[in-house]
């Protein structure tokens, strides 16, 4: 009869180890932080103190290990592994050029956003291009997976399907079939018999992810795992789960919209913060080759409070629309509501506009929205936010073919941002004829189809746009 692996309970905050579970960690004082983990076997000491004599009496330094070969970096040979392209351009772009053999990719997103559909499409495309794909479903029955595959435009009939949640069976099947790509949906449903905890707890998720990572590296199988998202928006399970894998992808989007954004927050084989845009259709997800056109498609010429800026998502410039609405407050305390923008940054800009440009928001409700479900994280969009707010207060529309690119300082000054030329080129491609940028950030050799206007302060910008 096989002996069960010994387990311990370790605190996720301080790392203290306990033989049994308890509600409070005695070391750091935190509650409910003990999780079950596998205990590493202790090495057996050499008889007669031979190891101690070989290491000059330091026996603890020699136990349980062998001397390893340490080549110099200049002596390491080899080349980068060839990537597999799926034919889904936006997906390959986010990964950095395609799937890397032996890599492990974590795909997270809210329920119903389309993670399973995307990965089943990837499996179908990989299979059609000559590589073998294995789809491991721990949440859905084979019939449910087949019904989804029948709705897709791609044919997934040749994809191998395994409906299993036991990790040992998943790895044994993968080792026997030797697929090029293996998809595990999801990591929270897979469990190992070596741990007594229920599937989805911290110990199970971390141990299963570590073993799948080891399987991917040893066999060269590119492994994709689906991760559930918590209420806070992070991937459920320990934060170390994101450190284990090679690439972390977040699938984002509003349930009321038909487009989705795939964002890389970690990538060992490419640049981070790249995005890919998809449109959800009856036949699955379709890549959007020009995201700027999607986000600017419904703009009107006469609406006030609308401004356009150019963001850099990784290496890709994307034009997005900023909408602002300032209305008379109906209650004693005005509201400040921001969607896709940091609320504290909005409060800072309102204070700057009040102090430096004479716009008083103390009796106005302020609503700010980044169109299309995008998130405005870099400061390059500050100028567009300020222009949209002023446009709503004055109730006068901004020039329809103008873009606003720049960071706003506490003194009301406009600061330049990086890679202005690439942002201007994207704006020119989308039909913009004028771009308001920082005076020190006007490029010497910018695109010919767009005129860069340098402004020093937000007050000067408002005088140029609204006159006086």
As annotated, the binding site for ATP includes: 109-116
Per-residue CA distances from 74 to 6, 268, 269 (Å): 43, 21, 21
Closest by Cα among 237, 233, 318 to 277: 318
Q: Strand locations in 143-274, DSSP E?
A: 160-162, 181-185, 222-227, 247-252, 259-267
Phi-psi region of 56 (alpha: psi -120 to 50; beta: other; left: phi over 0): left
Cis peptide before 424 (omega within 30 of 0): no
Whether the CB-CB separation of 200 and 236 falls below 8 Å is answered with yes
Cα–Cα distance between 12 and 238 in angstroms, integer?
8
At residue 387, the 3 state secondary structure works out as: helix
Q: CB-based contacts of 445: which residues, under 8 Å, 6+ apart?
A: 421
At residue 457, the 3 state secondary structure works out as: strand
Whether the CB-CB separation of 260 and 285 falls below 8 Å is answered with yes
Binding-site residues, in ranges, read 109-116
Cα–Cα distance between 314 and 94 in angstroms, integer?
9
Closest by Cα among 147, 101, 149, 141 to 121: 149
Cα–Cα distance between 299 and 289 in angstroms, integer?
19
């Amino acid at each position: 009869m096989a002996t069960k692996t010994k387990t311990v309970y370790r605190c996720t905050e301080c790392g203290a180890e306990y033989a049994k579970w308890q509600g409070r960690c005695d070391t750091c004082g935190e509650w409910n932080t003990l999780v079950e983990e596998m205990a590493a076997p202790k090495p057996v000491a050499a008889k007669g103190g031979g190891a101690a004599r070989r290491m000059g009496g330091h026996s603890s330094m020699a136990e349980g290990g062998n001397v390893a070969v340490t080549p110099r970096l200049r002596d390491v040979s080899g080349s980068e592994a060839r990537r597999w392209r799926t034919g889904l351009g936006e997906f390959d772009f986010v990964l950095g050029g395609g799937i890397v053999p032996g890599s492990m990719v974590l795909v997270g997103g809210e329920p119903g956003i389309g993670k399973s559909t995307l990965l089943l499409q990837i499996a179908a495309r990989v299979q059609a291009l000559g590589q073998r794909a294995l789809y491991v479903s721990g949440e859905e029955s084979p019939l449910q997976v087949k019904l989804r595959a029948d709705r897709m435009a791609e044919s997934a009939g040749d994809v191998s399907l395994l409906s299993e949640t036991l990790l040992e069976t998943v790895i044994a099947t993968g080792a026997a079939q030797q697929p090029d790509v293996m998809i595990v949906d999801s990591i929270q449903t897979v469990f190992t018999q070596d741990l007594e905890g229920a599937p989805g707890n911290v110990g199970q998720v971390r141990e299963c992810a570590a073993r799948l990572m080891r399987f991917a590296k040893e066999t060269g199988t590119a492994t994709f795992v689906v991760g559930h998202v918590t209420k806070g928006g992070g991937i459920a399970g320990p934060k170390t789960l994101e450190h284990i894998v090679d690439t972390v992808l977040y699938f984002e989007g509003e349930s009321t919209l038909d487009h989705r954004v795939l964002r890389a927050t970690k990538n060992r084989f490419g640049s981070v913060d790249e995005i890919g845009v998809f449109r959800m259709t009856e036949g699955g997800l379709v890549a959007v080759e020009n995201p700027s056109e999607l986000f600017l498609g419904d703009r009107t010429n006469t609406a006030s409070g609308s401004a356009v800026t150019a963001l850099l998502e990784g290496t890709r410039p994307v034009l997005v629309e900023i909408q602002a609405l300032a209305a008379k407050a109906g209650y004693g305390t005005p509201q400040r509501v921001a969607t896709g923008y940091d609320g504290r940054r909005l409060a800072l800009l309102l204070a700057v506009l009040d102090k430096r440009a004479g716009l008083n928001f103390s009796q106005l409700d302020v609503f700010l929205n980044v169109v299309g479900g995008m998130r405005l994280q870099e400061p390059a969009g500050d100028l567009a936010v300020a222009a949209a707010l002023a446009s709503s207060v004055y109730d006068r529309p901004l020039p329809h073919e103008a873009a606003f690119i720049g960071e706003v300082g506490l003194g009301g000054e406009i600061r330049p941002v990086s890679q202005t030329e690439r942002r201007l080129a994207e704006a020119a491609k989308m039909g913009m004829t004028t771009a308001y940028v920082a005076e020190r950030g006007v490029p010497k050799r910018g695109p010919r189809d767009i005129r860069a206007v340098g402004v020093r302060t937000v007050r000067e910008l408002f005088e140029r746009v609204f006159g006086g």
